[in-house]
């Protein structure tokens, strides 16, 4: 992907919670924040570690979190879909479609919906999804 601004990136939600479902684009998204991938480390330092340096091996990987802001309307299909996902005990499937049409897909659980209703601006909701398993580029 060449340098680009985030304009026209979208989030899509699978209708059946799988990568094979019908995808619907979430409307009115303002900001997308993908917290990023990470990996734990496990310390393996022992009594004969070279020159008293701590030693590590790679541990478990974490798919991070995705959060994004949508326009808040409690009756809109996007909001009610995420509310349903929050109350479901199984993961859903989501993807980010970047401005150059590359797609990043993942299974995840909606872990938060925060509503903001300022006196002098539009109402919004911040949706947070915890990635479960390995996310990746979709060919």
Domain boundaries, the chain: 10-138
Rounded Cα–Cα distance for residues 85 and 77 (Å):
12
Q: Which residue in 74, 77, 39, 75 sits closest to 60, CA to CA?
A: 39
Collapse the DSSP code of 129 into the 3-class scheme (helix H, G, I; strand E, B; otherwise coil) and give the result.
strand
CATH 3.40.50.360 fits 10-138, yes or no: no
Rounded Cα–Cα distance for residues 78 and 35 (Å):
22
Q: Which residue in 18, 116, 137 sits closest to 69, CA to CA?
A: 116
- Full-model pTM: 0.91
Going residue by residue through the chain (139 aa), what tens digit of pLDDT does each one get? Answer: 677 899 999 999 999 999 999 999 998 899 999 988 999 999 999 999 999 999 999 999 999 999 999 999 999 999 999 999 999 999 999 999 999 999 999 999 999 999 999 999 999 999 999 999 999 999 7
Residue 120 has what DSSP assignment? Answer: T
């Amino acid at each position: 992907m060449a340098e680009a601004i985030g304009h026209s990136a979208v989030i899509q939600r699978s209708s059946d919670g799988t990568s094979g479902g019908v995808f619907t684009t979430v409307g009115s998204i303002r900001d997308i924040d993908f917290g990023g991938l990470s990996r734990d480390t496990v310390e393996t330092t022992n009594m004969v570690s070279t020159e008293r340096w701590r030693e590590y091996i790679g541990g478990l990987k974490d798919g991070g979190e995705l959060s994004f802001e949508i326009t808040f309307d409690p009756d809109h299909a996007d909001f009610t879909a995420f509310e349903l996902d929050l109350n479901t005990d199984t993961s859903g499937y989501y993807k980010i479609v970047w401005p150059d049409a590359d797609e990043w897909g993942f299974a995840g659980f909606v872990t938060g919906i925060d509503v903001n209703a300022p006196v002098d601006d539009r109402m919004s909701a911040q949706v947070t999804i915890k990635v479960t398993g390995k996310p990746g580029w979709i060919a």
